Amino acid sequence: MIRHLTTIIEREGDGYVAWCPALDIASQGDTVEMARANVQEAVSLFLETAPAEEVAGRLKSEVFVTDVEVAFG
């Protein structure tokens, strides 16, 4: 089965951190591409090795990424 999971990647220091909020799994890399590949591998390994109960407990059925407008300053 193939699932499409949202991943958020942001710069942190000299590298990038990638986070998959649907499973709360993160990884990192020196480039955006490396961070993406590393989190993809981490998610795949988790799904291959974790008990079904843990996967079901972590897997969120809906994750929304959106913008919000706030006033400051």
Q: Where do the domains of the chain lie?
A: 1-73
Q: CB-hemisphere CA count at 13 Å for 9?
A: 17
pLDDT tens digits, residue range 39-57? 999 999 999 999 999 999 9
Overall CATH class of domain 1-73? alpha beta
pLDDT tens digits, residue range 5-19? 999 999 999 999 999
User: Does position 64 have pLDDT exceeding 90, yes or no?
Assistant: no
pTM score, whole prediction = 0.85
The predicted pLDDT at position 17 comes to 98
Residues 35, 16: Cα–Cα separation, whole Å:
6
Q: Which residue has the tokens 């996967």?
A: 55
